[in-house]
Structure 1
Amino acid sequence: MSAAPGYLDPHYSLHPDGSRVERLEDIVRKRAAATPELPAVIAPEGTTTFAELDRQANRVAQALLRDGVVPGDRVSYVGENAASFLAVLYGASKMGAIPTALNFRLAVPEVEHILGDTEPAVVVLGRGQERLAAAAAAVGSVRSVVTVEDGPGTTGWVSWLDRVREDDPGYARGADETALMFYSSGTTGRPKGIELTGPNLGQALAAMHYLLEFDTTAVALAPIPFFHVSGLGLALVATLNGSALLLRNPTSPADLCRILQEEKVTHAVAVPTVIQFLMALPQVREGDWSRLRYMIYGAAPMPESVLRDATSVLGCKFLQSYGLTESTGGVTILMPEDHDVTGATSHRLRSVGRPMANVPVRIVDPVTLEDLPAGERGEVLIGGGHVMRRYWRDPAATAATLTPDGWLRSGDGGSFDEDGYLYLHDRLKDMIVSGGENVYPAEVESILTGHPDVAQAAVVGVPSQTWGESPIAVVVRVPGATLTEAELIAWSREHMAHFKCPISVAFVDELPLNASGKLLKTELRSTYGS
């Protein structure tokens, strides 16, 4: 099988006026013209209409022009999800600058590295990020440091936008220009800037636009930060469709449970870890989920037992998407009808679905890059218009990730079944070779989480004089459980081949995750690999 065919509606994502999405800056322009008085953003500090968001973006654009920013300059935002983030996103785009979303959870030295690499002209710091003001001001390229809350040595948001015009500069970015830049999570080294174009974003929005039943009555919640492509993707598609974007940052699974119900959320995005924590709450089973239409998940494997429970309790449509920031987010879809937890196709729950329309996906030998047939495991390659432009100022990394003919090397191991469903088998570097046998941690983790006393499990390889490598498990118990290492190892030997079973188990209160909810196996190897 050289590539699995896409099966979704091939149309390109549409604006309210029926035109194609080619430019990020046009999303808010055209939505404000279509439904100016509808709520665009619902935040603790108030509601912002589409017309108000568009005008605020215009003021940001004019303030940037006043500060000497020119097309192609970078404008960085560091902060939690907020209306000001969206104003900077659209405002920078309207005058041709490249908005750059930074992880607000990073330590100061990590932010300093990214700002030094980005060389932004303006840095906007969201609420609570004043600690970064001195570091931002020290970057030679920075003309202005703006804080949403006034702080010493900075320009406050209100004064920065005071006395500027509200007209749209009208910049129209070229299709081959960088429209937006994210930074990788840095789980495999220093974070890299990922350059995405307007057509990248337009194609990525297409599937959500047509599949998720967004309309002007929808309320979308993306607790995933906007510096992550899936969090910002939901914000963009909500604006595209005239839906309200609810900006709440849940402080706990219980808080998320409350917000989803009280705010009548219709569309939510969550990583599997969050859904797993949510389902552990007793109050979830007594909640009113009648307004919830879709739960979109991805970014990490979902234990099958959790998925079965969640589909039963929440009663909404579930949709999974697999992708990378380098592929502008999701490139496969596991449709709601594929979430059959009891029927003959229930095995598809272990897949990440089938490729979207116009997104070629291949499984290849990671050395020769030759295509592999269905059932054989290899590296996932992604092609088409979703693929990033390049890594920012890093031609070596770009060449290592993009093939000469434009395929994106994901670094993920995967295989297709005969029906074109994609199954992931860990990052290639995560595969454990024990006594000549390949051990795929995701497979072992899925089995371990089937134990009633296991809430979460992560499996990594450690050196072995006898076998080369052996798997160990790092486990979070279900609250109140007293499961022991010996009991879990004995149980695992009843459910899988012995060479796949962990040789030891470490129990922890929580697994290390990055800001995107992805498991940091590098930390586990560092802690338990000796």
Structure 2
Amino acid sequence: MSVPTPPEYKDPHYSLHADGTRVEDLADILRKRAAATPDLPAVITPTGTTSFRELDLEANRVAQALLRDGVVAGDRVSYIGENAPSFLAVMYGASKMGAIPTALNFRLAPAEVDYILGDGEPAVVVLGAEQERLAEVAAAVASVHTVVTVDDGPHSRSYDAWLDGVDDTDPGYRRGPDDTALMFYSSGTTGRPKGIELTGPNLGQALAAMHYLLELDTTAVALAPVPFFHVSGLGLALVTNLNGGALLLRNPTSPADLCRILQEDRVTHAVAVPTVIQFLMSLPEVHEADWSHLRYMIYGAAPMPESVLREATAVMGCKFLQSYGLTESTGGVTMLSPEDHATDGSTTHRLRSVGRPMPNVPVRIVDPETLEDLPAGQRGEVLIGGGHVMKRYWRNPGATDASITPDGWLRSGDGGSFDEDGYLYLHDRLKDMIVSGGENVYPAEIESVLTGHPAVAQVAVVGVPSERWGESPLAVVVAVPGQTVTEAELIEWARERMAHFKCPTAVAFVEALPLNASGKLLKTELRSRFG
């Protein structure tokens, strides 16, 4: 099934600035914003504030330092570190002279970093705070001729010294529409990490979507806890810069700390997973706080239980929004809008969906073998088309051909279905589907039901061998702190809400679910442990 997209945005690329011009590359975001609102705060950290003018001039110095060091257009410049003004300055600065900024996961082990750097072959590697441990690894990569660290170290140049004495003039490089503008690396859950090349038009269309959905402006304060090596984290940073809002770079250490930060800094746009929102609702101070400044709570990674949504909406009074997408699709391609989160019960049936396709984003459900469209209600593979689809995988034509069809559709690998109203429901990665007694069982459906139990904080469902059924669903559960629940109670909860053949036959309780360095669930580890 192919769902018609809503009406197109006025501008199919980046949104318009006050001067009426359109920006078509990363560098233009900062160029235009620094010209329009130079003195407004671009980034707020616990130690200070950086204005758009200051960020723009620092990016110019980065560009000039790269040129001085022999970097040319098309070279890669990697940044490994936590969210920081220097991350943005390096990204924008590399773009200003034509290099390809490459965001790497700072949580990876040295051997994993060594592989990615060897694959991407950057000319320069910049290491953020507390990443000096990787300087020797980076220096040993053949392509790397300059290693820069925010902290001083024996195997690198310090960031301040690297930029000392260089000109702060913008080189003025203009990238072509087919040129790679940014590169991320996949998390490697199904093999070696792959470089994902995104172009200016890719980013432009994605940012236009967020611009029109989030109502960001120069009064906005966006809390950016998601790492910039995630397309969703960097996407929020870019669209906030684009619209002149302030990025708040503070990392909450607990739900209570998140509540404090949201209040102290009068955050207007926040990002959290449903579990964190559920924990927030258990705090007395959340119910006593003034939430009049909060406009949007953006969530993802799991459906929002109806009970949590009702309480959070009543307490916070803001708009809730979630989205679905991949790095290969330049982030979000569907949206479950604030209107879909009605608390009067009229949209309850949609809360397990990830919403409808965004404007300008065609989405299809097809038979994974024939790629023929399937009707509403029938499950197949999610295909994504249009300007959001990545350029290719870096130096990996085989993987590119396996992921992008000859006519340009991105194969997500996710199982899904549409309802009659065009809302998309996900049913796990295709490879995660459980076949039990000849029936297809989708872990995401079971997880959604179990997450609705008030004592369940997190859950992952995997298939385990069964002599009778071939495979049976096992639910691996993390309980809400301070609450107890039994295996029998959860199985009965599921049996009251879904067909019995879909229900878990066993429940295992754990302290935490296994995650990789990007925060993605490792179901392979659960299968190995419990299978």
TM-score range, shorter chain: over 0.9
SS of match in other structure, 1:350: coil
Aligned counterparts of 1:303 and 1:515: Cα–Cα separation in 2: 26
Change (3 A) 1:67 1:353: same
Match of 1:379 in 2: 381
* TM-score (norm. length: structure 2): 0.97
Aligned counterparts of 2:209 and 2:456: Cα–Cα separation in 1: 35
The one of 251, 254, 262 aligned to 1:252: 254
Change (3 A) 1:341 1:522: farther
SS of match in other structure, 1:425: strand
Aligned counterparts of 2:489 and 2:210: Cα–Cα separation in 1: 44
The one of 201, 226, 235 aligned to 1:233: 235
Asked if 1 retains the 8 angstrom alpha-carbon contact of 2:9 and 2:360, the reply is no
Matches within 5 A, 1:360-439: 360-439=362-441
Aligned counterparts of 2:438 and 2:283: Cα–Cα separation in 1: 42
Deviation at 1:341, TM superposition (A): 3.0
Asked if 2 retains the 8 angstrom alpha-carbon contact of 1:378 and 1:414, the reply is yes
SS of match in other structure, 2:197: strand
Aligned counterparts of 2:516 and 2:22: Cα–Cα separation in 1: 35
Match of 1:163 in 2: 165
SS of match in other structure, 1:385: helix
Asked if 2 retains the 8 angstrom alpha-carbon contact of 1:201 and 1:386, the reply is yes
Match of 2:294 in 1: 292
Please state if 1:14 is matched with 2:46.
no
Match of 2:323 in 1: 321
Aligned counterparts of 1:47 and 1:91: Cα–Cα separation in 2: 19
- Paired residue total: 529
Say which is worse superposed, 279-288 or 236-245, in terms of deviation: 279-288
Asked if 2 retains the 8 angstrom alpha-carbon contact of 1:194 and 1:326, the reply is yes
Aligned counterparts of 1:526 and 1:520: Cα–Cα separation in 2: 10
Match of 1:519 in 2: 521
The one of 306, 310, 313 aligned to 2:312: 310
Aligned counterparts of 2:276 and 2:394: Cα–Cα separation in 1: 31
Runs of at least 4 residues off by over 6 Å: none
Match of 2:133 in 1: 131
Kindly provide the CA deviation profile for residues 112-145 of structure 1, in whole angstroms up to 9, marking residues without a partner as x.
Answer: 1111111110000000111101100000000111
Matches within 5 A, 1:93-242: 93-242=95-244
Please state if 1:505 is matched with 2:499.
no
One-letter amino acid matched to 1:344: S
Asked if 2 retains the 8 angstrom alpha-carbon contact of 1:341 and 1:349, the reply is no
Say which is worse superposed, 192-201 or 16-25, in terms of deviation: 16-25
Asked if 2 retains the 8 angstrom alpha-carbon contact of 1:8 and 1:356, the reply is no
Aligned counterparts of 1:502 and 1:282: Cα–Cα separation in 2: 34
Aligned counterparts of 1:490 and 1:355: Cα–Cα separation in 2: 35
Match of 2:353 in 1: 351
Kindly provide the CA deviation profile for residues 192-245 of structure 1, in whole angstroms up to 9, marking residues without a partner as x.
Answer: 110000000000001221221111111111100000011111110111111111
Say which is worse superposed, 483-492 or 426-435, in terms of deviation: 483-492
One-letter amino acid matched to 2:413: G
Say which is worse superposed, 514-523 or 333-342, in terms of deviation: 514-523
Deviation at 1:255, TM superposition (A): 1.4
Deviation at 1:478, TM superposition (A): 1.9
Deviation at 1:527, TM superposition (A): 1.6
Aligned counterparts of 2:283 and 2:352: Cα–Cα separation in 1: 24
Aligned counterparts of 2:352 and 2:10: Cα–Cα separation in 1: 25
Aligned counterparts of 1:288 and 1:517: Cα–Cα separation in 2: 31
Aligned counterparts of 1:312 and 1:528: Cα–Cα separation in 2: 40
Deviation at 1:491, TM superposition (A): 3.6
Aligned counterparts of 2:445 and 2:266: Cα–Cα separation in 1: 36
Asked if 2 retains the 8 angstrom alpha-carbon contact of 1:333 and 1:355, the reply is yes
Aligned counterparts of 2:259 and 2:25: Cα–Cα separation in 1: 35
The one of 455, 468, 472 aligned to 1:453: 455
Asked if 2 retains the 8 angstrom alpha-carbon contact of 1:79 and 1:129, the reply is yes
Percent sequence identity over matched residues? 80
Aligned counterparts of 2:526 and 2:304: Cα–Cα separation in 1: 19
Kindly provide the CA deviation profile for residues 160-214 of structure 1, in whole angstroms up to 9, marking residues without a partner as x.
Answer: 0001000011100010000000111112221111000000000000122122111
SS of match in other structure, 2:71: coil
CA RMSD, Structure 1 to Structure 2 (Å): 1.5
Kindly provide the CA deviation profile for residues 327-351 of structure 1, in whole angstroms up to 9, marking residues without a partner as x.
Answer: 0001111111111133332211111
Asked if 2 retains the 8 angstrom alpha-carbon contact of 1:457 and 1:476, the reply is yes
SS of match in other structure, 1:352: coil
Aligned counterparts of 1:384 and 1:309: Cα–Cα separation in 2: 37
Match of 1:264 in 2: 266
Aligned counterparts of 1:15 and 1:91: Cα–Cα separation in 2: 22
Asked if 1 retains the 8 angstrom alpha-carbon contact of 2:107 and 2:518, the reply is no
Match of 2:285 in 1: 283
Deviation at 1:519, TM superposition (A): 2.4
Kindly provide the CA deviation profile for residues 298-345 of structure 1, in whole angstroms up to 9, marking residues without a partner as x.
Answer: 234333433333222221101111110000001111111111133332
Deviation at 1:366, TM superposition (A): 0.7
Aligned counterparts of 1:430 and 1:348: Cα–Cα separation in 2: 23
Match of 1:81 in 2: 83
Deviation at 1:508, TM superposition (A): 1.1
Asked if 2 retains the 8 angstrom alpha-carbon contact of 1:299 and 1:323, the reply is no
Unaligned runs of 5+ in 1: none
Say which is worse superposed, 86-95 or 437-446, in terms of deviation: 437-446
Aligned counterparts of 1:238 and 1:405: Cα–Cα separation in 2: 33
The one of 19, 25, 28 aligned to 1:26: 28
Change (3 A) 1:99 1:393: same
* TM-score (norm. length: structure 1): 0.97
Kindly provide the CA deviation profile for residues 13-62 of structure 1, in whole angstroms up to 9, marking residues without a partner as x.
Answer: 32412223311110000100111111111112211110110000000000
Aligned counterparts of 1:373 and 1:21: Cα–Cα separation in 2: 39
Aligned counterparts of 1:447 and 1:37: Cα–Cα separation in 2: 49
Asked if 2 retains the 8 angstrom alpha-carbon contact of 1:59 and 1:91, the reply is yes
One-letter amino acid matched to 2:132: E
Change (3 A) 1:177 1:299: farther
Aligned counterparts of 1:134 and 1:519: Cα–Cα separation in 2: 30
Deviation at 1:516, TM superposition (A): 4.5
SS of match in other structure, 1:412: strand
Please state if 1:492 is matched with 2:494.
yes
Please state if 1:5 is matched with 2:44.
no
The one of 447, 455, 471 aligned to 1:469: 471
Asked if 2 retains the 8 angstrom alpha-carbon contact of 1:15 and 1:27, the reply is no
Deviation at 1:7, TM superposition (A): 4.5
Unaligned runs of 5+ in 2: none
Deviation at 1:480, TM superposition (A): 2.1
Aligned counterparts of 1:205 and 1:478: Cα–Cα separation in 2: 36
Asked if 2 retains the 8 angstrom alpha-carbon contact of 1:299 and 1:518, the reply is no
Change (3 A) 1:416 1:208: same
One-letter amino acid matched to 2:190: T
